[in-house]
Amino acid sequence: MQFSGAGKERGWGLFPDGWVGEVLQFVNNVWDNLTIPRTARLEPRITKLLSGALIARYEREERDWFCVPESPDWNEEGKEISRTDIRLYPPGRKRRSISLVLEGKRLNTPASQAAQYVGAGGMMRFVPAAKVAVKYAAGLPCGAMLGYVLDGNVRRAHSAVCRAIRAKRVVLLLTTDGEFRRLQLANSHEFHGITKHQRPDGVFLIYHLLLPVRWN
């Protein structure tokens, strides 16, 4: 599994060794057993169903970390500035800012939606833009994108996302070796990936789980 020590000096110690890999494998396994009603095609509904399934399973298994769905952030005036889809908190951490943020986007709707996946409402939430501070995971070493592949054609979704990332490599602040590379989970999903981004506070990793929707 590709969970390197890159960036250890700037925050990996906030997450226990191996915890990010454990979480991504856990999310993948929960998804593999989740079916979605055809009336729940909208992104927020899919995310709510997934977060509910995550909570039910880790409570059943009595894991020592927890999940918070749809969590807002606000500024000093009380104005909401962002809203994360899912936050996962490591064991032993009580600070709200220390979490693994998961951002979900639909793919193949039937339009590819890859531009939206990499855009301002997707990957760019983890990357600062001109005169705009990073919205998600400030001061942390990594976050994750969940691509809900509505038609189940993960190969097509993967190709479109890779092209969109290459086209936006400058604004995404990709490192020289930062393009989408395969992320090997235990049960061998060949289209999951990892990208590397040179944020002002250091190298930031985005993990990508491309998840085929199973309708019921």
Kindly state the DSSP code that residue 78 receives in the 8-state scheme. Answer: S
At residue 134, what are phi and psi to the nearest 5 degrees? Answer: -60, 135
Measured between alpha carbons, how far is residue 206 from residues 60, 76, 100, 126, 139 in Å?
Answer: 28, 28, 10, 8, 14
Whether the Cβ atoms of residue 199 and residue 132 lie closer than 8 Å to each other: no
Q: What is the pLDDT along the chain (216 residues), one digit of tens a residue?
A: 444 333 343 445 688 888 999 999 999 999 999 999 999 999 999 999 999 999 999 999 999 898 888 777 766 777 766 678 999 999 876 677 889 999 999 999 999 999 999 999 999 999 998 777 888 888 899 999 999 999 999 999 999 999 999 999 999 999 999 999 999 776 667 899 999 999 998 999 999 999 999 999
Joined together, the tokens standing for residue 113 give: 């939606």
Sequence-ordered strand ranges (E) for 4-141: 66-74, 80-89, 100-107
Local structure of residue 90 (DSSP, 8 states): P
In terms of Cα–Cα distance, which of 139, 177, 194 is closest to 12?
Answer: 139
> Tokens for 66?
């927890």
Domain ranges of the chain: 8-212
Listed residue (157, 147, 140, 150) closest to 197, CA to CA = 140
Contacts 24+ apart (CB under 8 A), 29-35: 29/187, 30/54, 30/57, 31/209, 31/211, 32/187, 34/214, 35/214, 35/215, 35/216
